[in-house]
Chain A
Amino acid sequence: MRARSLVLVAAVAASALVTAHVRLIHSGNGKALKWGRPQEISIVLNATGSDDITDGSHLTALRNAIDAWNAVPNVTSRLVENTASAQMQRTDWSADSIHLVLFDEDDSSGYFPGGSGTVALTPIWFAENGGITDADILFNGVDFEFTTSGAPGAFDVQDVATHELGHLLGLDHTGWAGASMYPYVDPTVVLHRSLSSDETHGLQDAYPILPGASIDGVIRRASNDTIVAGAHVVARDAEGRTAASALTTSLGAFTLRNLDPGTYTLYAVPLDQPVSSGNLTPGHTIQTNFGATVLGAFAVTEGEALSLGARQVGADVTLSLGRNYDVFPLRAIAGQTRSFQLRGTNLAAGSTLTASDPDVTVVVTSWMGTQVNFQVTVPSNAPIGHVDLAVANGAGELSILPGALEITARDPVLDSVEPLLATTSGGTLVTLHGSRFTTGSRVVLGGNVHVDGEAQGCTVVDANTITLTTLPSAGGLADAVVIDASGVEARIDDALEFALVPAIASVFPPSGSASGGTQLTLTGSDFEAGCTVAIDGVAQTNVTRDSASTLRIVTDAYAAGGPYVLEVQNPSGPVASAAFAYVAEADPVITTIDPAAGSASGGDELLVHGANFLVSTNVVFGADADTGLGGTPAAELEFVDANTLRVVTPAHASGLHSVIVRDDLSGQAAVLPAAFRFQSSGGGGGCSTLPTSAPRDPRDAIAALGWLFALLGAFALRTRALRRTAS
């Protein structure tokens, strides 16, 4: 016979508080605890992390946990990480001004004396109105080890953090065995990383935006019509998946909120095993002297508030399934059969054990009185989620374990990552090859999290391919981790190295004189201070690093030929390659442009003075002085001699621009940056400067047109004499 009611604080229970999920409440007045300004709940992750994790990966694990809560739809709450370096160095977790996640390695908090058995905890400060004023998460680094890479015997940081963040947001433990807020954890567990719909509903209850459908009612004992306080009322959807839950108030009332439209089977179970009142904060009245009872199936439409009135539950029974020393959740994998055992009472032959999802098959292999051994088979196409287990016996007794099974896909497999080297500044396109990649997966790489479909995230191309573009990362080897929606992962340790990898975007000019002295400009990225440049393996002696994206070289003499391999090597080792050719001829040289200004509309004649000009030399205005790209060729060009070119300017945007002479046959070129100014015509009287609102004197306009035509006529006469054919 089950012990009777477990009363914690009945005074507050007289209030009519109705809780969906299980909310933390003020033990003095029963008000649910929640943040007053949930739109931006600041979180600081202590940078030091755990003694057990030396690569800083605790940060990505914690960020994944934060993401899980921030991904809940239809809520006003949002955890916002404060990444200010000074904040991340803080350890004064108890200060009101910071909400800190901290690994306490020496019991500096005073909350982890030896033997406490607590893996992590979340002290929450609150005011009389239930408003949370401060909350912090402390990991017990004194007694326990933590991991982000599945180290045996250590607790998974993301798994534990997901649970504790639920407390920080105002949620209590739940009786849903497979939920993240289930109160017990084991080093082997990672499935708490993913939220169940119980947590989703709990957060939507605390911080709602749009109320969904709801079902309310009152639970009474069939035997004497008395109300049942603290009954665990659970809704199961039409597919047999655990969908939502609530505790009844001291008045026996429950409300299941934020339900999607659909049909739900409701049942009530006593909160006695494996989660009981001892796992909840004070303020809840929990009565367990009744038996698990199916209340019926009920349909709700969009936004409907369905009131069931009183629903009766049966008498207490001795049949019971699940103990807190069972390890939950029981992971059932799509397409596989797995064996499990659960403890309980009166688990005797003749009983039946079933899963709430009719597509999930349960076969009992042995009934042992206090234990049942069984196999679960899940179809390969089963969606992920939670499924109840129920045991019934010939005496009509029933025990239901909400959300005991967690259906997941098979573990993803990560075979390879390419390339093996990525630059620390980000922007490297990376492809992950493997199998069983699923939509909604996330990739952890180099301290960054890439979520499928999100900006700066990743793309699950298909079950075998994920692509992403790296973000700025610290240097060094990085694990590649693919985590699917249920929290299971595939990993390659040290899969990729982040280093400052130079990249060459352009070499200008692409050729230079074999006698050396060519003013060569390399553009690209991540040219590290101290980098070297070699052409055909010969180090160049005159290299200047303007910036991480620009190198200037005055070439050394070398044998004509090529193209040769041009390499830029950073001091840390990575190399970028391009090509450069030496030619026998001397490089062209520009000394002056005469005149150095002309009209933006073009047509001005000028002379380019210099040396080593050829008949094949071209002149370009406004090209990029570092790359030679862009610009506008001269409208007309006449080779006067090796030192002089006569040019008619093209139309060009106004401003000061470069002039480049280059030989397209040899690739040699010379640049005179900011050498020629294109000026707006008419001395500022261009169209753009004309007022549009005030009419001008028409005589002025006629005069201006006259000048314009006179100028154009004069230019036409002069340029005709200069024009030469393109051939």
Chain B
Amino acid sequence: MELGLPTLLDTMHRLLFLGALALVTGFVAFPAARAVEASTVRKLDLEGLVEHAELVLEARVLGAEPGLDEHGRIVTRYTLAVARTLRGAHEAVRTMSVPGGVLPNGRGLVIPGLPVLAAGEEALLFLTSESRAGVRLPVGLSQGRLRVARAANGAKRFVREHGAVEFVDAAGHTVPAPTAVETFDYAATIARVEAACAARAERERAGGRR
């Protein structure tokens, strides 16, 4: 299914909030398929994202507010309306802080590579645990966010702005990507993530019993 262009209103709405946000980047470990044996390099397919995430949820971004944390560092506090939680405790509304942002006075902090969530954006988020600084990061930075895009008929698909994505068919099988931009079948992706979350939870329970 082809994605439509974001509407102008959507875009402008996004801009109002995004203008206050800063992005953050780092050097992202991204393994070649042949390098899966390297424990320091993670193959961040959907299962890999689940494996390393502390919190997996589908949410809509209600607000994004830059500010200073207790250490005086700029963070952006997101308020999320959580539609479903695939891993972690479900809360209908969550807040989380992500490093970076731009304060009203124009002062900002950017970490090249770290994605910024747009107010109003719907996304499937694979999030790290909360660090001692009280922040969470998307797992694998930009890889840990799959944006929800809606076609003209309202059907959902997942989109990631870069290409570390496998295209899946309705059965969850990988298929060749039809274009350079990645889209994911919504239902198949959710099913695959849920399966991965369940498998991980089962492993953790089994480990606990031992």
**A-to-B contact residues, CB < 8 Å:** 1-12, 24, 26-29, 33, 94, 107-129, 133, 143-145, 153-155, 160, 163-164, 167, 172-173, 183-188, 270, 272-283, 288, 318, 320, 323-327, 345, 369-370
**B-to-A contact residues, CB < 8 Å:** 2-6, 11-12, 14-15, 18-33, 35, 38-42, 44, 51-54, 71-74, 99-100, 102, 105-116, 128-137, 139-144, 149, 159-164, 176-181, 183
Cβ of B176: which chain A residues have Cβ within 8 Å of it?
345, 369-370
Contact B33 A111 (CB under 8 A): no
Contact A115 B40 (CB under 8 A): no
Ranked 6 nearest A-B pairs via Cβ:
A110-B133, A128-B106, A121-B26, A278-B161, A115-B52, A3-B181
B109's partner among A116, A123, A143, A274 (CB-CB below 8 A) is A123
Contact A121 B25 (CB under 8 A): yes
Cβ of B116: which chain A residues have Cβ within 8 Å of it?
8, 27, 282
Cβ of B33: which chain A residues have Cβ within 8 Å of it?
325
Main secondary structure of the interface of A (DSSP, over half): loop
Cβ of B139: which chain A residues have Cβ within 8 Å of it?
115-117
* Contact flag A277-B137 (CB < 8 Å), given A27-B108, A126-B108, A153-B40: no
B162's partner among A128, A154, A275, A318 (CB-CB below 8 A) is A275
A10's partner among B15, B35, B136, B183 (CB-CB below 8 A) is B15
Cβ of B180: which chain A residues have Cβ within 8 Å of it?
2, 270, 272-273, 288, 320, 345
| Cα distance, A26 to B22, chains bound together (Å) | 8
Q: Which of A123, A143, A173, A185 has the most chain B CB atoms closer than 10 A to its own CB?
A: A123
Contact B30 A116 (CB under 8 A): no
Nearest CB of chain A from residue B163's CB, rounded to whole Å: 5
Contact B161 A124 (CB under 8 A): no
Contact A281 B112 (CB under 8 A): yes
For residue B181, which residue of chain A has the nearest CB? Answer: A3
| Cα distance, A117 to B38, chains bound together (Å) | 13
A345's partner among B32, B140, B178 (CB-CB below 8 A) is B178
| Cα distance, A185 to B177, chains bound together (Å) | 23
Nearest CB of chain A from residue B208's CB, rounded to whole Å: 18
Contact B102 A28 (CB under 8 A): yes
Cβ of A28: which chain B residues have Cβ within 8 Å of it?
19-20, 102, 106, 108
Nearest CB of chain B from residue A184's CB, rounded to whole Å: 4
Nearest CB of chain B from residue A147's CB, rounded to whole Å: 11
Contact B29 A185 (CB under 8 A): yes
Cβ of B110: which chain A residues have Cβ within 8 Å of it?
24, 27, 33, 123-124, 126, 281
Cβ of B32: which chain A residues have Cβ within 8 Å of it?
186, 325-327
Nearest CB of chain A from residue B103's CB, rounded to whole Å: 9
For residue B10, which residue of chain A has the nearest CB? Answer: A7
* Contact flag A117-B141 (CB < 8 Å), given A153-B40, A274-B162: yes
Cβ of B52: which chain A residues have Cβ within 8 Å of it?
114-115, 117
Nearest CB of chain A from residue B165's CB, rounded to whole Å: 9
Contact A370 B177 (CB under 8 A): yes
B107's partner among A113, A127, A275 (CB-CB below 8 A) is A127
- A and B contact pairs by CB, cutoff 8 A, 17 listed: A3-B179, A7-B6, A28-B102, A112-B131, A116-B140, A117-B139, A128-B107, A129-B106, A145-B40, A167-B112, A187-B40, A273-B163, A274-B162, A280-B23, A320-B179, A323-B164, A370-B176
For residue B164, which residue of chain A has the nearest CB? Answer: A324
| Cα distance, A4 to B2, chains bound together (Å) | 9
For residue B35, which residue of chain A has the nearest CB? Answer: A186
